[in-house]
Amino acid sequence: MKNDDVQYINDISYGYWKAQVLFVASELDLFTLIGERGKSGKLISKKLGSDLRATEMLLNALVSLKLLSKSKEIYCNTAVSRRCLMKDSPAYQGDRIQHFHNMWDYWSGLGRAVKTGKPTAFYNAKKGVDKKRLREFISAMHNTAAVQAGTIYSKLQLKRYGRLLDLAGGQGTYSVKFAEKNRNLKAVVFDLPDVIKLTRKHIRESGMTGQITAKAGNCLEDSLGKELYDIVLVSHLLHAYDASENQKILKKCWDSLIKDGIVVIQEFVLNPSKTMPLFGTLFSLNMLMGTQGGSSYSAVEMKEWLKKAGFKNLKRVDLGMDSGLIIGKKV
């Protein structure tokens, strides 16, 4: 056996060590504490009220992960940490990191989930969620949407549209970002009642109450309206449901659109064999443990659902961060 093969297996086996280092550093808000100018291990330990020896071990591990640099006993944030791990950055990802940390326990039940086919998570997507974890989840989704909103706006040329349904839109990050760029856009964020409480707060704080409204409901049980919108955004929703449920959701999207309107699905898109990309395959397991029938899906599957719902002119647009758009038009 080649040494490279052994190293490859080892890298996978201790991958959770790396994740735990990031989880703890983020929980301590270490990167914000270090700031722009850097600090010594002694000063960091003093401010944290932590053990110096243990703190320096953690800091040195973060250097090896290229999240910090070290020079003459001074630890500094790297460019990626300044952009993604300091709380005052627009691209801050700390809430998303906390969300991954929250999944730590139920991922330890993967073997049981594989044997039984049943979820192991502390919640079930169809039965509701713990309110604290819900807030943390919505904040995590905000981190992702805040980074991707500009790219999606440009790729879809959203200045052409006037009426948006943001389906399962969370706290409304996409709607807010889009409305800031298109002052003629009117948006409705549709999500579960517990989520909509957070949505309304975010809309108020963003000063967008004149352009964006929030509506509580269940996308499987409630109508989305008839011929009201020229664009429906379905961002990271379909992976929570099985194929038949997704077919039902997309038919409701069709009904809610005016002629020539479009539906935009954002998902972790798998290849036809469902073996790549890596994050999408792992996310399928995450849905195995967190939902009754959810999964990552291939572009082939999602396009087939769109066809059955009546959509034409189907196309795919690739995005960064392991996701892509599948678009269909009502003609």
CATH code: domain of residue 319: 3.40.50.150
Rg (CA), the chain: 22
Least confident range from 1-5, 95-99, 203-207, 312-316: namely 1-5
β-pairing, 312-318 vs 186-191, is unpaired
CATH number of the structural domain spanning residue 58: 1.10.10.10
Residues 179 and 144 grouped into a single domain: yes
> What pLDDT digit, counting tens, does each position of 129-187 carry?
577 888 888 999 999 899 999 999 999 999 999 999 999 999 999 999 999 999 999 99
Confidence of residue 1 (pLDDT cuts 50, 70, 90): low
318 pLDDT exceeds 50?
yes
Residues 312 and 168 grouped into a single domain: yes
The DSSP code sequence of 64-114 is: HTTSEEEETTEEEE-HHHHHHTSTTSTT--HHHHHHHHHTHHHHTTHHHHH
Instruction: List % helix, strand, coil for the chain (3-state, nearest 5).
Output: 50, 20, 30
Rounded distance between C-alpha atoms, residue 19 and residue 16, angstroms: 5
109 pLDDT exceeds 50?
yes
Q: Which domain holds residue 10?
A: 3-86
Last residue of a domain, one of 86, 118, 152: 86
Last residue of a domain, one of 86, 112, 132: 86
> In this predicted structure, what is the pLDDT of residue 121?
76
Residues 61 and 130 grouped into a single domain: no
Residues 52 and 199 grouped into a single domain: no
**What's the average model confidence in pLDDT over 115-120?**
92
Last residue of a domain, one of 51, 86, 121: 86
Confidence of residue 322 (pLDDT cuts 50, 70, 90): confident
257 three-class SS: strand
- DSSP H helical segments within 108-165, as ranges? 110-116, 131-156
Residue 35 Ramachandran class (φ > 0 left, ψ -120 to 50 alpha, else beta): left
Contact (Cβ atoms closer than 8 angstroms) between residue 168 and residue 190:
yes
193 three-class SS: helix
Strands (E), 177-311: 186-191, 212-216, 229-235, 257-267, 269-270, 297-298
> In this predicted structure, what is the pLDDT of residue 131?
77
Token pair 């929030």: residue:
214
Residues 49 and 124 grouped into a single domain: no
Residues 311 and 173 grouped into a single domain: yes
Report the percent of the chain where pLDDT is more than 70: 97
> In this predicted structure, what is the pLDDT of residue 128?
52
Residues 64 and 112 grouped into a single domain: no
Rounded distance between C-alpha atoms, residue 328 and residue 313, angstroms: 6
Token pair 């704080």: residue:
205
The verdict on residue 93 lying in a domain is no
> What pLDDT digit, counting tens, does each position of 243-281 carry?
999 999 999 999 999 999 999 999 999 999 999 999 999
**What's the average model confidence in pLDDT over 72-86?**
97
**What's the average model confidence in pLDDT over 5-16?**
95
Confidence of residue 124 (pLDDT cuts 50, 70, 90): very low
Nearest to 284 by CA among 301, 264, 305, 303: 301
Rounded distance between C-alpha atoms, residue 311 and residue 181, angstroms: 27
The verdict on residue 141 lying in a domain is yes
Q: What is the number of structural domains in the chain?
A: 2
110 pLDDT exceeds 70?
yes
Note the pTM of the prediction, 2 decimals: 0.92
164 three-class SS: strand
**Mean pLDDT, the chain, integer:** 94
